[in-house]
Every structure is written in C-alpha cells, then in structure tokens.
Amino acid sequence: MRHFSHAVVTGGAGFLGSHLCDRLLAAGTRVTCLDNFLTGGPENVEHLQSNEAFRLIKTDVTDFIHIRGPVDLVLHFASPASPVDYLRLPIETMKVGSIGTLHALGLAKDKGARFLLASTSEAYGDPQVHPQSEDYWGHVNPVGPRGVYDEAKRFAEALTMAYRTTHATDTAIVRIFNTYGPRMRADDGRAIPTFLRQALDGAPVTVAGDGTQTRSVCYVDDTVAGVLAVAASDLPGPVNVGCPEEMTVLALAQSIVSATGSRSPITFVDRPVDDPMVRRPDISLIRRELGWQPQVSWNEGLSLTLASLTAPAPA
C-alpha cells in the first residue's frame, strides 16, 4: 500500500469528495480541494477549514488547474452526479467530463502523480448483462437524456486510458455504484435522499414505476474505503466499487418509511426515460485483488444516515 503526501481532490466539496477529504486527512495526507460549488458546497468541508493540512480553492476545473509544489495523488470527482443535476446541467456535465478530465490528467502527468477517475455504473447504461463486471461494455443510449452523463464518463475513461498508454501516466478508473450516506443533498433527486425527505416530512413516498426495478446501494464509508484502496494499489481499472446486495426500489422505500417511523403512504409515479431496470456490481475483481468488500449493512447505513439528518444543528 502506498502512502500519499499531497492529494488534489476535484469536486472535493461534494458528497463523495468531502468524505474522501476526511479520510485522506485522517491518514496524514495533505489535501487540496478544487470545487466550483456547482452541485456541492463549502458547508460540506466547513469542519476541515481549521485543519492546516487542508486547502479549499473555489475554481472551475474546466478553466484550468494550477497547483504549486509536489502532488502525488489526483482524485477526479468533479461532476454533477444525480439525474436531477445532470439533466439540469447537461453542458456543464459534458464539459467537466471532457475538458475537466483533460485538465486533471494534465496535472497528474505534470506532477508524476497517481490519477484516479471517478467513473460510474452508469457507464453500463441499462445493462443487458447481470450482474455487471468490468469487462461488460454497456448498453448506453448516447442521444437519450442521460447520455450527457453516461457518455461524458465513457469519454473520460477513454481519455484516462489514452494518457496511460501515450504518456505513461499512472492512472486508475473506478466505476462507482449508487452510494448513500450523510451529506447527500435532500433535493438531489436520487431515490434514498428523496424517500428520506418525504418520509420525514410525512409526505407521500414516490416510487418510480411499479418499484420492481433494482438498485444496489453502498454506504459512503465503504465506497470511500474502496476508492482509496484502488488509489493506493497499482490497479489500472476499471474496477467496480459498490455493494452486491440488490434490492427493489419498492423495498428501499418500505424500509425507509419503517426506519423513520413515518405514516407516509407509498405512491407510484412515472419512471424516468432510460431508467435502468437492474443494477448490481460484480465485485470479484476488487475482492480478489485488494480484499475489499462492503462492511456496513443497509440497516446500519440507513440508521447512520438518518441520525445525520435528524441530529440537532450545532449551536
């Protein structure tokens, strides 16, 4: 396992990025966080501002990236990530996946740093192979509404491989599956924060379609541990990081209603266009190579998430 002295995290003020910053700092790594606060915000890293090893720079990584001094790890997490966000910000999403990735790769190349791309299970699209292993090429509709995100990530993967083969940059690609936990935005449109907000407000919990479509959800601490294990290895990827336990969306909604003690009814709404029917990672590769697998059960993760939402605000 390698130790890193100075990591640059693009999108570090977002949900996953902020947890990565926490974990890197705890491991003794200096962290520079680059974020334009498009879908994240400084409040996610507020608790780190007094830490001398942490620096937050407000910048758009599609403009340019310049960092003084040595850097030995670049984690490229900047990108709108929830359907509500990338459907509202299609061009920004494609720019950060293409030009932003180019700039982040350029930084890693210049500094001789390890580079890790946050790709996504959406690279598999609406999959025709189940579960999804890394050698599956996917089933993506490039001209559908979700194409802006899926294709930006697929382009980013191809660009990452081009830097590896052309410039010998030390690169890694992780394909992250649905992750949940504290600091998700309640209004980001993803199923878990939406159901939690609705259940806590006593509003109807809106399940898309008939709720038989499946998702595999991973608690954020597990995802972050998986990402950092890949970063500290020599694996080029792509490597799936996610939880192989599959649940129907209806079962997710029901367990959220019950965990919150809510009296909310469950109602059914239209399914979004190109919404995948099934989603489950095959994590044999990361399990075999790095011994990583999720540790936090859905019930445990749900109560940790709920506790973060209902905790009294600091005085």
Minimum Å distance from CB 34 to ligand NAD? 6
Q: Is 149 a catalytic residue?
A: yes
**CA quadruple 60, 61, 63, 65: dihedral, nearest 10:** 120
Task: Tell me how far the alpha carbon of residue 214 is from its chain's centroid.
Answer: 18
Q: Which is nearer to ligand NAD, 60 or 151 (CB)?
A: 60
Minimum Å distance from CB 4 to ligand NAD? 19
Cβ(215)–Cβ(192) below 8 Å: no
Note the residues at the interface with ligand NAD (CB under 6 A). 10-11, 13-17, 34-40, 60-62, 77-81, 96, 100, 118, 120, 176, 178-179
Q: Which is nearer to ligand NAD, 13 or 257 (CB)?
A: 13
Minimum Å distance from CB 205 to ligand NAD? 20
Selecting among 124, 149, 163, 219, the annotated active-site residue is 149
Backbone angles phi, psi at 110, to 5 degrees: -60, -40
Minimum Å distance from CB 223 to ligand NAD? 7
Query: What secondary structure letter does DSSP report for 139?
Result: B
Q: Which is nearer to ligand NAD, 148 or 264 (CB)?
A: 148
Pair of tokens at residue 73: 């790890």
Residue type, 186: A
Q: d(Cα 246, Cα 280) in Å, to the nearest integer?
A: 6
Q: d(Cα 191, Cα 193) in Å, to the nearest integer?
A: 6
Q: Which is nearer to ligand NAD, 30 or 103 (CB)?
A: 103
**Residues designated catalytic:** 149
